Amino acid sequence: MFESVGALTGSPWIYAVVALSVVLDVFVPVLPSGVLVITAATAAAAGSTTASVASATGQVATQVPDILILMACATTASVLGDYAAYRLAWRGGARLDRAIARSRRLTTAQERLGTALSRGGGALVVVARFAPAGRSVVSLGAGAAHRKVKEFLPWSVLAALAWAGYGVGLGYFGAQWLGATWLGVAVSVLALFGAGALAALVVRRPAHAAAPAAP
């Protein structure tokens, strides 16, 4: 299955590639960081089975990604990317404010984010992490609105843990249930995209529809 990426998934460089992809996709949302995480996790699942067989037969096992290191790598990179975008937007000044003002999507997201964070409801940050480009919108919006770090960063960490855990879990358990095949990867990727579509619906709901009615 992994002939085309075998050299990468069998090398420690896989962690650096995953980290770089996750950090950068806050600025370039088209990067397939989620797909890469799933593929590496699938390789880890396949490798753990191969290692068990190799150990039983006395063969030398092939090096594969460690699932816990992969999880920590994806989580840390996600938080670092969020914070970099947040700080960039914080220092963006009038030019970034004008760019946000020209985008209805960014303006709406910024308003909703400010309301959610001020009420302690930063779950929006977690949900948006799964939506296409939602991470970018939220991180840049929080920085442009000059939200406090203590209001944004803890939710960013929680979002990173949820996203990384979901991606790694899909790849690892998908391989356990469906086998380390392209079919298993495809099903896992579809599940990732499905979560993204659902998250996008939640994020795009009008603020008045999400807010409770006043007494």
State residue 1's pLDDT score. Answer: 42
Q: Which of 129, 122, 128, 13 minimizes the C-alpha distance to 73? A: 13
In one-letter notation, the amino acid at residue 163 is W
Cα gap 94→143, rounded to integer Å: 13
The pLDDT of residue 179: 73
What is the pLDDT, as a whole number, of residue 131? 85
pLDDT, residue 67, reads 87
Q: Which amino acid is at 127?
A: V
Kindly list the averaged pLDDT for each block of 10 residues, start to end, along the chain of length 215: 51 86 87 88 70 42 71 95 91 67 65 60 82 83 83 92 94 82 83 90 60 41
Chain-centre distance for alpha carbon 50: 28
Supply the pLDDT for residue 19: 93
For 172-202, give one letter per residue: b (16+ CB within 10 A) or e. Answer: bebbeeeebeeebbebbbebbeebbeebbee
**At residue 212, what is the residue type?**
P
Contacts of 6 (CB under 8 A, 6+ apart): none
What pLDDT, on a 0 to 100 scale, did the predictor assign at position 14?
A: 85
Name the packing angle between helices 134-144 and 149-178 (round to 10°). Answer: 170
The whole-number pLDDT of residue 213 equals 40
Neighbours of 88 (CB within 10 A): 16
pLDDT digits over 33-86, tens only? Answer: 998 999 888 888 776 544 443 344 444 344 557 889 999 999 999 999 999 999
CA distance linking residue 91 with residue 138, whole number of Å: 16
C-alpha 18/C-alpha 136 separation (Å) is 18
